[in-house]
Amino acid sequence: MDTADLEAKVIAFIASKVENIDISAITTASKFEELGFDSLDTVQLLFDAEDTFGVSFDGEEVKGLRSVGDIIDYIGKHPPTDAV
């Protein structure tokens, strides 16, 4: 999957988790807290992303994930175990 496809899929995935948001309002620079995610919501988001994208988020690396772009970069560097 190329970067543009991955970006579009991650943004659509995150938009599906946020109530009352226009998908065009979500960019790679969007921080989770700006989108209304608290720390528990972010953990759930990452669990759901693991299932959706076939990746496993490492406990230490997760601490640095703060934005939509961070998830895209992580998935890009850690190829899914199964095709999405």
Backbone CA torsion sign across 39, 58, 44, 15: positive
- What 3-state DSSP class applies to 67? strand
Q: Where are the domains of the chain?
A: 3-77
Encoded amino acid at 73, one letter: D
Can you name the CATH fold of 3-77? 1.10.1200
Token pair, residue 62, equals: 């997760």
pLDDT at residue 68, rounded to an integer: 97
The model's pLDDT over 44-70, given as tens digits with 9 standing for 90+, comes to 999 999 999 999 988 788 888 999 999
Q: Which residue's entry shows tokens 């938009």? A: 15
Is 83's pLDDT higher than 70? no
pLDDT, one tens digit per residue, over 21-44 is: 899 999 999 999 999 999 999 999
What is the 3-state composition of the chain as percent helix, strand, coil, each rounded to the nearest 5? 60, 0, 40
Model confidence at 82, in pLDDT bands (50, 70, 90)?
A: low
